Amino acid sequence: MSVSATMTRTQKAAAILVAMGKPAASRMLKFFKQDELKALIEGARLLRTIPQNELEKIVAEFEAEFAEGAGLMDSAESMDMLLSESLSPEEVNAIMRPDDGAAEAAAPMPVWPQVEAVEPARIGAFLSAEHAQTGAYVLSKLAPATAAATLLTLDKKLRGELVKRMVSLAGVPEAAERIIERQLRERLLSESASRDTSAGQLRVAGLLNEMDKDALEEVMRDLEEAGAPDIEAIRARLFSFEDIPLLTQKARVILFDGLSTELVTLALRNCPGALGEAVLSAIGARSRRMIESELAQGVDVPAVDIARARKTIASAAIRMAGEGAFELPSAQQAAAA
């Protein structure tokens, strides 16, 4: 039995494509659907050496005319070469492993909310190194506020080019979307995560908040002179009992609403008048009378106990600010700066 008689039509089509040579076959491959390309690849992998006379039978069967040639060998390898030169690696991978796309589509968390959490300057630096069409697509997927802030970090020429491309941006193939999202995860988000210093800022701020006001300011000056990074971010997390007058009246009411009168009374021992009034003005009339009555007795209390009570109140303010109950005055000053 001849070789061609045992071949399927898909295998015969693969043999003809290989015989056509790379330039012609490359042009032809563009017209095949994904499932047809997959079938051709699988068919080519099963081919062995095809003698010239058998190739002629296959050609005749398809009613086409081909140039002379020797028998075909290593058809699977030849087909791989054709595909690699005609299609991108992502396209070949999508053809041969269609489940990969489904796996990526089922990613646990969408990429765009994560990108919007990155500083606009970092997004801008990433887009500056990319093709303008990619940059336009990324900006089109971001929230308007984030996209606008990112645009302002770019030079004027690139900014205008990206906006121009955004206006005319049409549909983007799903495969291209997956590639861009993967690059964002691997290059932008992973790098941003590795540069996240918020945990370190919290540790330093926690250490500084344990110091008294004078020592804290001295250490902060030393850090500034040494050129330590994230000084403003650290300062935004600082708070001491003496900063209570800087809180808004609403914030002071929230802070002292859940604190015991015993703790507040202890913290107010030997307290300057303005600071004491800032605290008492945020407390209910009945509790205020009780505290003022206790303070008037002039009980001698160890300074270490007073300091501990004040640090407890300051820690409560830091915790509540972290939960979003109000803003610390240091954070407001940092934002204004």
pLDDT in tens, the chain (337 residues): 566 666 777 777 777 777 766 666 666 666 667 777 777 777 666 666 677 777 677 767 764 444 333 344 444 555 555 556 555 566 556 655 555 544 444 444 678 888 888 888 889 888 988 888 899 999 999 988 888 889 888 888 898 899 988 888 877 788 888 888 888 888 888 765 545 555 566 667 777 777 777 777 888 888 778 776 667 777 778 888 999 999 999 999 999 998 999 999 999 999 998 999 999 999 999 999 999 999 998 788 999 999 999 999 998 998 888 778 888 887 766 555 5
Contact residues for 193 (Cβ-Cβ < 8 A; gap 6+)? none
Architecture in CATH for domain 197-238: Up-down Bundle (1.20)
Two domains, one topology: 111-194 and 239-336 = yes
Q: What are phi and psi of 72, to 5 degrees?
A: -90, 135
User: What is 4-99's CATH number?
Assistant: 1.10.220
Report pLDDT for 149: 86
Residue with tokens 């015993």: 262
Chain centre distance of CA 75: 44
Count of C-beta atoms within a 10 Å radius of residue 221: 10
Report pLDDT for 318: 87
- List C-alpha distances in Å: 120 to 114, 131, 147: 12, 18, 8
Q: Compute the distance between CA of residue 198 and CA of residue 187 in angstroms, rounded to an integer.
A: 20
Q: What is the pTM of this model?
A: 0.42
Correct CATH for 111-194 of 3.40.50.2300, 1.10.3720.10, 2.40.10.10, 1.10.220.30? 1.10.220.30
Rg (CA), the chain: 36
Count of C-beta atoms within a 10 Å radius of residue 280: 19
Question: What ranges do the domains of the chain cover?
Answer: 4-99, 111-194, 197-238, 239-336
Architecture in CATH for domain 239-336: Orthogonal Bundle (1.10)
| CB-CB contact of 120 with 146 (8 Å) | yes
